[in-house]
Amino acid sequence: MLSSSQMLRRFCCFTAVNSSPSTTATTTASSLNLTSRKKRLVFLGSPQVSASVLDALFNASSAPDSLFEVAAIVTQPPSERNRGRKVLPSPVAQHAMDKGFPSDLILTPVKAGEEAFLCQFKALEPELCITAAYGNILPTKFLKIPSLGTVNIHPSLLPLYRGAAPVQRALQDGVTETGVSLAYTVRQLDAGPVIACEKVEIDDQIKAPDLLELLFARGSKLLIHELPSILEGSARAKAQVQDESKATLAPKITQEESWLSFDQEAIVLHNKVRAFAGWPGTRAKVSVQDPRSGQHNIIELKIITTRVYGSNKIQGGEADDVSFTQGSLVFPCGGEHGTGGIGNPASGGGANLVPTWPSSIELVAKSEGHTPDSFEPIEKEYDSDSSNSDNVITHERFFTGVEPMQGVEISTPKVETVDLPTSSRNPIGDGKRPIGDNNPRHLLKEENDCGSYFNPKRTSPNTAVLDLDCVLRP
């Protein structure tokens, strides 16, 4: 028989053994809860291109092995958009609501430094922020809140093209390669350490809206690939500090930059048309003569799409004449002659800029200007108050002669033609009268003389859309 002390010791031993599994289970469960809890991620973005990044995050967060959840979305407040000027939520906000994301978790501060917003943001206890064309400056107070930092998708190969318009400025410069970068956000503009980047070749016909969409699509995939290391914290160690000596800036586009001046080389104008596609667009002024009154009228054109040709590819017309040949409007451009053509370096001449089919030229109406959100391409018509004579082509350079076209078909617009005021009618002729300065043929035709050339659509006294192929020529 065991003594009382022995019995006590054995009882205590049994108690310890019996309680051990329960204690171990509790400890294990607690450990699992700590390791399996998803990180809280906040997404910041505003324009439509940001929606592709948000979709990628939604899809990744719904995976069974996901390490994070989208805890909230921060975007620009509702604003007047589109031609109707209706107050609408940002494209990202609308996209999130369409996906069923709770509207009370979509935050829309005017500025990210607002105290009320910062308190609300801090209460979310975010661990990581992802930005993609948010369009607002993030103050230091904001950047200190997420424990894992803020990572930005920037559509350039940093440190190149830091700023609000990296895609537009890259196209304007005519570079053949760009890319997308993942970088930590710091107070200095786009200057944080780079986690990863991907290069993208630039097609010589791609426009800014299309390239922007492509780069953010690539950036979304790059982000999802790098997210595990970012959430674990190891990305900090591998991120590369940017070389400040190689940094270039991509300042915001202004509406005044949209004017084309034909004393520039065709390739320069072509790159400008691609870069400014969407907003602010590219515009030019031409002078045409009303054959009935003899008056010269200034017409504003919006150039939408272009190609570049060597001067030896376009036949007919004087060197300084704007002509309509081979289904194209041919505009003379500047640049050095005899040193190799722009479009055809072996030609020894200049080059032609060709706004291409269809609807490549638009007569622009007068309206209020508009500055869009960062990275947001917007199509609209703009104020035409510029009177810079450098942007005006004189009558001698515009349609002094148009050769009759044989076997060339040009489709008419899908909307019906509206009769033009007498003062702005510019008959193009039937191709039978002699061609010369005393008998000019002009851009706009009378309603009853559409023939096989083109059919203008008038939507207001100052607006028309033409289905043409158009060329700029030195």
Q: Is the domain of 339 the same as that of 443?
A: yes
- Top-confidence residue, 400 or 208: 208
Q: Report pLDDT digits (tens) over 338-350.
A: 222 222 223 323 5
Give residue 322's identity as a one-letter amino acid code.
Answer: V
Instruction: Specify whether 206 is located in the same domain as 352.
Output: no
User: What separation in angstroms does the CA of 224 have from each of 68, 193, 205, 218, 313?
Assistant: 11, 18, 30, 10, 48
d(CA 427, CA 440): 9
Residues 279, 196 share a domain: no
Position with higher pLDDT, 268 vs 437: 268
Helix axes 208-232, 166-173, angle to 10 degrees: 130
Are 183 and 152 in contact by the 8 Å Cβ rule? The answer is yes
Q: Is residue 19 part of a domain?
A: no
| Pair (121, 214) in one structural domain | yes
Alpha-carbon distance 65 to 467, whole Å?
53
- Domain extent, residue 330, equals 255-472
The reply to whether 105 and 219 lie within a common domain is: yes
Lowest mean pLDDT among 171-180, 271-280, 330-339, 373-382: 373-382
Average pLDDT of the segment spanning 8-22: 39
Q: Which two tokens stand for residue 442?
A: 């002009």
- When divided into structural domains, the chain yields a total of 2
Q: Is the domain of 309 the same as that of 429?
A: yes
Digit-coded pLDDT (tens) for 113-133: 999 999 999 999 999 999 999
Q: What is the mean pLDDT of residues 237-252?
A: 97
pLDDT score for 371: 29
Residue 466 has pLDDT above 60, yes or no: no
Do the domain assignments include residue 22? no
Q: pLDDT tens digits for 299-318?
A: 777 888 887 766 555 444 44
Indicate whether 386 and 300 sit together in one domain.
Answer: yes
> Model's pTM, two decimal places?
0.69
pLDDT tens-place string over residues 390-409: 333 333 333 333 332 233 33
- Do residues 424 and 303 both lie within one domain? yes
CA 383 to the chain's CA centroid = 21
Q: What is the CATH number of the domain that holds 228?
A: 3.40.50.170
